[in-house]
Structure 1
Amino acid sequence: MSKYLLGKKIGMTSVINENGILTPVTVLEIKPIFVTQVKKSDGKDGYNAIQVGTKEAKKLNKSETGHLKSTGKLLKIIKEFRVKEEDIGDKKPGDIVDLSSFEKGEKVKVSGSIKAKGFSGAVKRWGFHGGPGGHGHPQERRVGSIGAGYPQHVFKGKKMPGRKGPERKTILNLEIIDIDNSNNLLLLKGSVPGPRGRLLEIRG
């Protein structure tokens, strides 16, 4: 069964279980999400997916307002999750998806954009070893050769200095350590992509 949520990264902390083992965890605040559209492979969309929205907006343009009319809410953030046909069930626009579908000890995957680092050199961006650190050596953190004399151009994909981040990353098999339904918090073992405040996609 496909499960999905949207959560905001609050930060990291640690918990101690009944055996005295300390585990680093990431705390996610789970936003209430509303189904905005159901897509089916036998319809005009050609594939199965559930589109959800969160974070109420004060004002949207006419096309966005018309799209969300069936939910009865103005939602600022729209995301889509691919699902199997049997997992769509009787879901319809306006339905609420919450933490109740997830259980403690379950493994999930989390997707989001990593931190943007700006323009970075090859050592930081790609993990290059760098040159010798001797006194007066001119190429301690430089790239070095970027190709031979022939064919007289640099091949595509060559690892060089450039902008690092914020590409999308997915972390697999993160264990749910605890679920706080009263405060809408989800505690996952280990770290997740992005800085504090980043919106993340959680799939079961």
Structure 2
Amino acid sequence: MNNLTQFLRRSLSISANSTTNITRKQGLAGSWYIPKPSFGQKLQDEKFVKDEVTGWNKNSHRVGAVGKKVGMMTTYIDGTAYPVTVIEIPTNQITQIKRKVLDGVDSVQVGADEIRLKNVTRPLQGHFARANVPPKRVLMEFKVTRNAMKSLEVGQPIVAKHFVPGQLVTIKGTSIGKGFAGVMKKWNFGGQPATHGVSRSHRSLGSTGCRQTPGRVFKGKKMPGRLGGISSTQFNLQVLGINTALNVIMVKGAVPGKKGGYLKIIDSRSNKWTQSPPFPIYVPQPNEAAQEILFKPDGELLVEDQPVAIAPKLLSVEQVDQMNNEIKEKREKRKQSQN
């Protein structure tokens, strides 16, 4: 028996009575690791498997939401700065429910962002009319489990509170297109030398093949081409906060796409739930107060009341004239100081 085997057996016997267990990692035979919690998540001694009230279990997959990227900002939680991406949930509504018996798949179709009826094709006009929902700009489909479809109805809205602050989400979008790019930008090639006989080919890729044998370029060779503008997925991004007044969620880190791009947001498979999320969806209550909920690193939720409507401050004509006069005076003083 070698030293490694003795160490592993001793560790397993010690960890049997402790909270941190050494477990075998899936897919790597003979490898061992100590699982570490992600930001704000703690290791649970007993796994939460099923909720008897909502019918949620660990194998359930809820419907997701269609998001619209607003931009990035910095938010401060307990004095620590976190880079977050603000994602709007623009008027999400269920437009169709597909069942495996009739349609071959259990899925839910969600439409987002209302548009004018004249900008919708005739087939989609009939589709929205049957669902009795306003015309939508974007339609996305989410595969769900059968228990996540029992109480769903066509026309139900999906709001930002559908997601829980602290949970992990997977976001799919279209990356920013960069156009036709060379190998140094696209594949991080080093390029050719600046001197020693190199003439007008400093950023070229160099040789692309071999000799007469095989006499061709192998498939998959890295060459110049179009960069970006393809489907991209970011896994395990954490929801740091939601704002029900603006119907937005704040996700830690960056997401694919440019501002105004549409995103597909679903629950991550890596979530370690301690209680059931809103299942199958969050149902808004009448006269519900608008809130901003932030997730703290210690696992607690910071809830702040927010005004429902944010009205811009309107200035009178006299105030506008006064501001213009002040600007003119500052410009004149600046010119005099320069002279």
TM above 0.5:
yes
Per-residue deviation, 1:135: 6.3
Matches within 5 A, 1:164-203: 164-203=227-266
Matches within 5 A, 1:115-130: 115-130=176-191
Check the 8 A contact 1:70/1:93 in 2, yes or no: no
SS in 2 for 1:86: helix
Check the 8 A contact 1:3/1:101 in 2, yes or no: no
Take 1:118 and 1:158, find their aligned partners in 2: how far apart are those partners?
A: 19
Q: Structure 1 residue 71 and structure 2 residue 134: aligned?
A: no
Per-residue deviation, 1:112: 0.2
SS in 1 for 2:234: strand
Unaligned 5+ residue runs, structure 1?
A: none
Deviations 1:140-190 (A, max 9, x none): 321111111222222222110011110111101111111011111111101
Q: Structure 1 residue 12 and structure 2 residue 75: aligned?
A: no
Deviations 1:22-46 (A, max 9, x none): 1111111111211111111121x21
> Which residue number in structure 1 is paired with residue 206 of structure 2?
144
Q: Structure 1 residue 22 and structure 2 residue 81: aligned?
A: yes
Take 2:109 and 2:224, find their aligned partners in 1: how far apart are those partners?
A: 38
Per-residue deviation, 1:136: 5.2
Q: Could you say which structure has the greater relative contact order, defined with CA pairs below 8 angstroms and 6 or more residues apart?
A: 1
Percent identity over the alignment? 36
Residue 157 to residue 14, structure 1, CA distance change in 2 (3 Å): same
Could you list the structure 1 runs, at least 4 aligned residues long, displaced by more than 4 angstroms after superposition. Answer: none
Residue 146 to residue 63, structure 1, CA distance change in 2 (3 Å): same
Take 1:178 and 1:135, find their aligned partners in 2: how far apart are those partners?
A: 57
Check the 8 A contact 1:13/1:26 in 2, yes or no: yes
Residue from 131, 146, 157 that aligns with 1:96: 157
SS in 2 for 1:42: helix
- The structure whose residues are more often helix, as a share, is 2
Per-residue deviation, 1:101: 1.9
Residue from 28, 49, 55 that aligns with 2:113: 55
Take 1:180 and 1:136, find their aligned partners in 2: how far apart are those partners?
A: 61
Check the 8 A contact 1:30/1:184 in 2, yes or no: yes
Take 2:145 and 2:190, find their aligned partners in 1: how far apart are those partners?
A: 45
Deviations 1:39-61 (A, max 9, x none): 11121x21111111122222223
Deviations 1:111-134 (A, max 9, x none): 100000000001101111222233
Give the alignment's Cα RMSD to 1 decimal.
Answer: 1.6
Residue from 33, 36, 40 that aligns with 2:92: 33
Alignment length (residue pairs): 202
Residue 134 to residue 89, structure 1, CA distance change in 2 (3 Å): farther
Take 1:4 and 1:127, find their aligned partners in 2: how far apart are those partners?
A: 36
Check the 8 A contact 2:63/2:143 in 1, yes or no: no
Take 1:57 and 1:26, find their aligned partners in 2: how far apart are those partners?
A: 25
Unaligned 5+ residue runs, structure 2?
A: 1-60, 268-339
Q: Report the residue type matching 2:104 in the other structure.
A: G
SS in 2 for 1:177: strand
Check the 8 A contact 1:34/1:71 in 2, yes or no: no
Check the 8 A contact 1:130/1:142 in 2, yes or no: yes
SS in 2 for 1:68: helix
Check the 8 A contact 1:56/1:74 in 2, yes or no: yes
Take 1:112 and 1:186, find their aligned partners in 2: how far apart are those partners?
A: 16
